[in-house]
Amino acid sequence: MGIRALIADDHELFRSGLKQLLVDSLDADDVREAETLDQALEMLTNDGAGDLVLLDLRMPGMSGTEALSALRDGFPDAKVAVVSAWEDRADILAALGAGVHGYIPKSLPSAEIAAAIRSILEGRIYVPQSIGRRDAGAKPEGASTTAIGNGLGQDKLTLRQKEVLNELLKGQASKEIARTLDIAEGTVKIHLAAIYRALGVRTRAEAIAKLKSH
Protein backbone atom coordinates (compact mmCIF):
# COMPACT_ATOMS: atom_id res chain seq x y z
CA MET A 1 0.00 0.00 0.00
CA GLY A 2 1.30 3.46 -0.90
CA ILE A 3 1.74 6.48 1.32
CA ARG A 4 -1.32 8.45 2.42
CA ALA A 5 -0.52 12.13 2.89
CA LEU A 6 -2.04 15.54 3.47
CA ILE A 7 -0.45 18.73 2.13
CA ALA A 8 -1.66 21.94 3.79
CA ASP A 9 -0.35 25.08 2.08
CA ASP A 10 -2.03 28.21 0.71
CA HIS A 11 0.08 28.25 -2.47
CA GLU A 12 -1.67 26.13 -5.09
CA LEU A 13 1.36 25.80 -7.38
CA PHE A 14 3.57 24.55 -4.55
CA ARG A 15 0.90 22.09 -3.38
CA SER A 16 0.58 20.72 -6.89
CA GLY A 17 4.33 20.32 -7.28
CA LEU A 18 4.76 18.69 -3.89
CA LYS A 19 1.90 16.30 -4.58
CA GLN A 20 3.50 15.22 -7.83
CA LEU A 21 6.81 14.76 -6.03
CA LEU A 22 5.17 12.47 -3.46
CA VAL A 23 3.54 10.43 -6.20
CA ASP A 24 6.60 10.16 -8.44
CA SER A 25 9.37 9.81 -5.86
CA LEU A 26 7.67 8.19 -2.86
CA ASP A 27 4.91 6.12 -4.47
CA ALA A 28 2.15 8.02 -2.66
CA ASP A 29 -1.27 6.87 -3.83
CA ASP A 30 -3.51 9.14 -1.74
CA VAL A 31 -2.48 12.79 -1.44
CA ARG A 32 -5.04 15.27 -0.15
CA GLU A 33 -4.66 19.04 -0.41
CA ALA A 34 -5.83 21.89 1.84
CA GLU A 35 -5.17 25.61 1.56
CA THR A 36 -6.19 26.63 5.08
CA LEU A 37 -5.93 25.14 8.54
CA ASP A 38 -9.73 24.75 8.69
CA GLN A 39 -9.77 22.71 5.48
CA ALA A 40 -6.92 20.55 6.74
CA LEU A 41 -8.67 19.92 10.05
CA GLU A 42 -11.89 18.91 8.30
CA MET A 43 -9.95 16.30 6.33
CA LEU A 44 -8.05 15.11 9.40
CA THR A 45 -11.27 14.80 11.40
CA ASN A 46 -13.29 13.05 8.70
CA ASP A 47 -10.65 10.85 7.10
CA GLY A 48 -7.79 10.60 9.60
CA ALA A 49 -4.24 11.86 9.30
CA GLY A 50 -2.79 9.01 7.27
CA ASP A 51 0.97 8.52 7.21
CA LEU A 52 2.18 12.06 6.65
CA VAL A 53 1.06 15.65 7.21
CA LEU A 54 3.10 18.38 5.49
CA LEU A 55 2.15 21.94 6.34
CA ASP A 56 3.22 25.50 5.84
CA LEU A 57 4.05 27.28 9.08
CA ARG A 58 2.30 30.49 8.00
CA MET A 59 -0.77 29.39 6.10
CA PRO A 60 -4.18 30.91 7.03
CA GLY A 61 -5.33 29.74 10.45
CA MET A 62 -1.96 28.56 11.72
CA SER A 63 -0.89 29.94 15.06
CA GLY A 64 2.75 29.01 15.24
CA THR A 65 4.38 26.31 17.30
CA GLU A 66 1.49 25.83 19.73
CA ALA A 67 -0.57 24.66 16.75
CA LEU A 68 2.17 22.20 15.83
CA SER A 69 2.17 20.77 19.34
CA ALA A 70 -1.60 20.40 19.17
CA LEU A 71 -1.35 18.57 15.84
CA ARG A 72 1.23 16.18 17.25
CA ASP A 73 -0.97 15.55 20.28
CA GLY A 74 -4.12 15.14 18.22
CA PHE A 75 -2.76 12.87 15.50
CA PRO A 76 0.16 11.00 17.05
CA ASP A 77 0.26 8.19 14.49
CA ALA A 78 1.15 10.48 11.56
CA LYS A 79 4.50 12.01 10.75
CA VAL A 80 4.06 15.79 10.90
CA ALA A 81 6.56 18.06 9.15
CA VAL A 82 6.81 21.73 8.29
CA VAL A 83 7.60 22.68 4.69
CA SER A 84 8.26 26.41 4.69
CA ALA A 85 9.87 29.27 2.81
CA TRP A 86 10.90 30.69 6.18
CA GLU A 87 14.35 29.51 7.20
CA ASP A 88 14.92 31.56 10.32
CA ARG A 89 16.87 29.60 12.93
CA ALA A 90 14.41 30.52 15.68
CA ASP A 91 11.45 29.26 13.63
CA ILE A 92 13.18 25.96 12.88
CA LEU A 93 14.20 25.32 16.48
CA ALA A 94 10.75 26.29 17.78
CA ALA A 95 9.02 23.94 15.34
CA LEU A 96 11.34 21.07 16.19
CA GLY A 97 10.87 21.80 19.87
CA ALA A 98 7.11 21.50 19.35
CA GLY A 99 7.65 17.90 18.32
CA VAL A 100 7.40 17.89 14.52
CA HIS A 101 9.34 15.22 12.67
CA GLY A 102 11.14 17.64 10.41
CA TYR A 103 11.50 21.15 9.03
CA ILE A 104 12.00 21.21 5.26
CA PRO A 105 12.92 24.50 3.52
CA LYS A 106 11.05 25.11 0.28
CA SER A 107 14.30 26.37 -1.23
CA LEU A 108 15.72 22.84 -1.39
CA PRO A 109 15.93 21.07 -4.77
CA SER A 110 13.08 18.64 -5.34
CA ALA A 111 15.36 15.62 -4.97
CA GLU A 112 16.48 16.82 -1.53
CA ILE A 113 12.90 17.49 -0.46
CA ALA A 114 11.99 13.94 -1.48
CA ALA A 115 15.00 12.58 0.44
CA ALA A 116 14.02 14.59 3.52
CA ILE A 117 10.45 13.27 3.44
CA ARG A 118 11.68 9.72 2.93
CA SER A 119 13.95 10.11 5.96
CA ILE A 120 11.01 11.33 8.05
CA LEU A 121 8.83 8.42 6.97
CA GLU A 122 11.64 6.06 7.98
CA GLY A 123 11.49 7.43 11.51
CA ARG A 124 14.24 10.04 11.56
CA ILE A 125 13.99 13.73 12.44
CA TYR A 126 14.93 15.92 9.49
CA VAL A 127 16.87 19.05 10.39
CA PRO A 128 18.02 21.39 7.57
CA GLN A 129 21.75 21.92 7.20
CA SER A 130 21.25 25.64 7.69
CA ILE A 131 20.59 25.09 11.37
CA GLY A 132 24.19 24.05 11.90
CA ARG A 133 25.88 20.71 12.49
CA ARG A 134 25.74 20.92 16.28
CA ASP A 135 21.92 20.93 16.15
CA ALA A 136 21.53 18.35 13.41
CA GLY A 137 21.62 15.39 15.75
CA ALA A 138 19.38 16.87 18.39
CA LYS A 139 16.10 15.08 18.69
CA PRO A 140 13.29 17.44 19.76
CA GLU A 141 11.07 16.64 22.65
CA GLY A 142 7.70 15.56 21.36
CA ALA A 143 4.51 16.89 22.90
CA SER A 144 3.22 14.57 25.56
CA THR A 145 0.32 12.38 24.57
CA THR A 146 -0.33 11.02 28.02
CA ALA A 147 -4.05 10.84 28.50
CA ILE A 148 -6.24 10.57 31.56
CA GLY A 149 -9.95 9.98 31.83
CA ASN A 150 -12.28 7.17 30.85
CA GLY A 151 -15.03 6.07 28.53
CA LEU A 152 -16.35 7.28 25.15
CA GLY A 153 -12.86 7.77 23.76
CA GLN A 154 -11.99 10.34 26.44
CA ASP A 155 -9.13 8.11 27.57
CA LYS A 156 -7.46 9.01 24.26
CA LEU A 157 -7.41 12.73 25.04
CA THR A 158 -4.50 14.73 26.38
CA LEU A 159 -4.89 16.99 29.38
CA ARG A 160 -5.16 20.09 27.16
CA GLN A 161 -7.77 18.41 24.99
CA LYS A 162 -9.76 17.61 28.12
CA GLU A 163 -9.61 21.28 29.10
CA VAL A 164 -10.93 22.26 25.68
CA LEU A 165 -13.66 19.63 25.96
CA ASN A 166 -14.74 20.94 29.35
CA GLU A 167 -15.14 24.43 27.91
CA LEU A 168 -17.01 23.02 24.91
CA LEU A 169 -19.51 21.39 27.25
CA LYS A 170 -20.09 24.77 28.86
CA GLY A 171 -21.30 26.02 25.47
CA GLN A 172 -18.22 28.10 24.74
CA ALA A 173 -17.43 29.00 21.13
CA SER A 174 -13.90 28.49 19.80
CA LYS A 175 -12.98 32.14 20.35
CA GLU A 176 -14.24 32.00 23.93
CA ILE A 177 -12.34 28.77 24.61
CA ALA A 178 -9.20 30.40 23.22
CA ARG A 179 -9.60 33.38 25.57
CA THR A 180 -10.35 31.18 28.58
CA LEU A 181 -7.35 28.90 28.03
CA ASP A 182 -5.11 31.68 26.68
CA ILE A 183 -4.32 29.89 23.43
CA ALA A 184 -4.86 30.78 19.77
CA GLU A 185 -8.21 30.04 18.15
CA GLY A 186 -6.47 27.95 15.48
CA THR A 187 -5.00 25.77 18.21
CA VAL A 188 -8.46 25.31 19.74
CA LYS A 189 -9.72 24.10 16.36
CA ILE A 190 -6.90 21.56 16.17
CA HIS A 191 -7.77 20.25 19.63
CA LEU A 192 -11.47 20.08 18.68
CA ALA A 193 -10.64 18.09 15.55
CA ALA A 194 -8.76 15.55 17.67
CA ILE A 195 -11.59 15.43 20.21
CA TYR A 196 -14.21 14.75 17.53
CA ARG A 197 -12.01 12.02 16.07
CA ALA A 198 -11.56 10.37 19.49
CA LEU A 199 -15.29 10.50 20.24
CA GLY A 200 -16.28 9.22 16.81
CA VAL A 201 -18.27 12.33 15.89
CA ARG A 202 -17.91 15.06 13.27
CA THR A 203 -19.49 18.15 14.78
CA ARG A 204 -19.65 20.14 18.01
CA ALA A 205 -23.34 19.33 18.40
CA GLU A 206 -22.73 15.58 18.02
CA ALA A 207 -19.93 15.70 20.59
CA ILE A 208 -22.07 17.50 23.15
CA ALA A 209 -25.06 15.22 22.53
CA LYS A 210 -22.97 12.07 22.88
CA LEU A 211 -21.32 13.16 26.11
CA LYS A 212 -24.52 14.44 27.72
CA SER A 213 -26.39 11.24 26.88
CA HIS A 214 -24.04 9.23 29.11
pLDDT value at residue 137 = 40
Contact 96, 89 (CB under 8 A): no
Output the pTM of the full model: 0.73
24 & 51 share domain? yes
Q: How far is CA 119 from CA 58, 88, 112, in A?
A: 24, 22, 10
CB 191 within 8 A of CB 37: no
pLDDT score of 2: 85
How far apart CA 163 and CA 172 sit, in angstroms, is 12
Task: Note whether 134 and 147 are within 8 A (CB).
Answer: no
Could you tell me if 163 and 129 lie in one domain?
no
Question: 54 and 121: one domain?
Answer: yes
Residues 193, 113: one domain? no
Sign (positive or negative) of CA dihedral 204, 188, 15, 143:
negative
User: What CATH number is given to the structural domain containing 208?
Assistant: 1.10.10.10
* Beta strand segments in 66-207, E: 79-84, 102-105
What CATH number did the domain enclosing 112 receive? 3.40.50.2300
User: Which of 110, 136, 162 is at the close of a domain?
Assistant: 136
CB atoms within 10 A of CB 104: 23
Q: Is 18 helix (H, G, I), strand (E, B) or coil?
A: helix
Same structural domain, 94 and 128: yes
- Coil/strand/helix, residue 2: coil
CA 191 to each of CA 70, 94, 101, 179, 203: distance values in angstroms, whole numbers, following the listed order = 6, 20, 19, 15, 13
Residues 37 and 85 grouped into a single domain:
yes
Q: Do 39 and 82 share a domain, yes or no?
A: yes
Co-location of 7 and 75 in the same domain: yes
In this prediction, residue 27 carries a pLDDT of 92
28 Rama class: left (phi>0) / alpha (psi -120 to 50) / beta = beta
Q: Do residues 163 and 125 both lie within one domain?
A: no
**pLDDT at residue 143 in the model:** 34
Q: Is residue 94 part of a domain?
A: yes
Q: Which pLDDT does position 156 carry in this prediction?
A: 66
Domain that holds residue 109: 3-136
Tens digits of pLDDT across the chain (214 residues):
689 999 999 999 999 999 999 999 999 999 999 999 899 988 988 888 899 999 998 888 887 788 898 888 888 889 999 999 988 888 888 888 888 999 999 999 999 999 999 999 999 989 888 765 334 343 333 333 322 234 445 556 788 888 999 999 888 999 999 999 998 888 898 888 888 888 888 888 888 888 877 6
Tell whether 194 is covered by a domain. Answer: yes
